[in-house]
Amino acid sequence: MKRVSFEDGIIYSFRPDLEPVTTARSGETVEFVCQDACGGLIRSEKDTLESLDLDRVNGATGPVRVMGSRPGDALRVLIRGIRVAATGFQSIAPKVGVLGDEVSRPSTKIIPIRDGKAVFSKSIRLPIHPHVGTIGVAPNEGSWTTFYPGDHGGNLDTKEIAKGNAVYLPVFQPGAQLAMGDIHALMADGEVCVTGIEIAGTIRAQIDVVRGVHIERPVVETMDAWIAVASAPTLDEAARLATHDGVALLARGARLPWDEAYMLASIACDLRISQDVDPWRTAKLVIPKSLMRRLPLR
């Protein structure tokens, strides 16, 4: 199994001209060793978001060139496991997050992880559910900081990108140039205060090239659902794109005319918020596999 660490390579923007630090074959499993989203700079409750160099946060380990992948293909990245460190943190600051205008001063909370639970307080211990916050490939054009989500993936902050689930990413450049990081030990939909439990860790992922599968944006597959994920400058725009993609998946998978798939989505598929705090927002339409008669990807 190949192993790549942030010490080997780390990026702070997804660009068409990314240079790989290593290569992987289709079907190979790679371990990505990742810093926390703030690069290890928050170590105590005295450290806050306002003290950080924002050009050096939310780094993604890699990139990894995936041999044989080319534009018009998709990458299937199956998350086989995520190991997290013994301690994570949350931080808030004025003017960031859904209620940023109500935050009077920056604050940080250190959160230990013990026996698979996040110790939020003496009376509140929550089972962790680690997931990958940032995962993406070289985009078709432009430079996207790792703060941003987009069609290339990036800072999706979608909690279903977790152990046992797969994320499909469109390939825009030869070799794809896959990078990931920003692990959360736990995060709820919305990530309303702007942080989940940010934590360092190691992601074990199997990477497969899926030939000729054309997708415009990321799609997540869980045991019981297909999830169309979309990002845009506003939550309304992201929700529209996620619904557009999800209805198309449903129409193909359920073998329905588009108008019937649209109606079925309104009664059987949940439109949810992945995150409402990044520079672009991310929404998702969750489509139960029980509705499908065939694979929805074309």
What pLDDT does 235 receive? 98
What pLDDT does 298 receive? 76
Element (H, E) at 281: strand 281-288
Positive or negative: CA dihedral 160, 70, 11, 24: positive
What pLDDT does 51 receive? 81
Mean pLDDT over all residues of the chain?
A: 97
Domains of the chain with CATH codes:
2-210 (2.60.120.580), 219-291 (3.10.28.20)
Residues 6+ apart with CB under 8 A from 135: 60, 77, 153, 154, 156, 161, 167, 169, 178, 179, 180
- Of 34-38, 281-285, 294-298, the one with minimum mean pLDDT is 294-298
Q: Using CB atoms within 10 Å of the CB of residue 233, give its burial: 0 to 12 exposed, 13 to 18 middle, 19+ buried.
A: exposed
Give the confidence band of 56 by pLDDT, cuts at 50, 70, 90.
confident
Does this model's pTM top 0.95?
yes
96-122 pLDDT tens trace: 999 999 999 999 999 999 999 999 999
Give the confidence band of 54 by pLDDT, cuts at 50, 70, 90.
confident
131-167 pLDDT tens trace: 999 999 999 999 999 999 999 999 999 999 999 999 9
As a whole-number percent, the residues of the chain with pLDDT over 70 amount to 100
What b/e readout covers 43-82, taking b as 16+ CB neighbours within 10 angstroms? Answer: eeeebbbeebeeeebbbbbbbbbbeebeeebbbbbbbbeb
pLDDT score of 53 more than 90: no
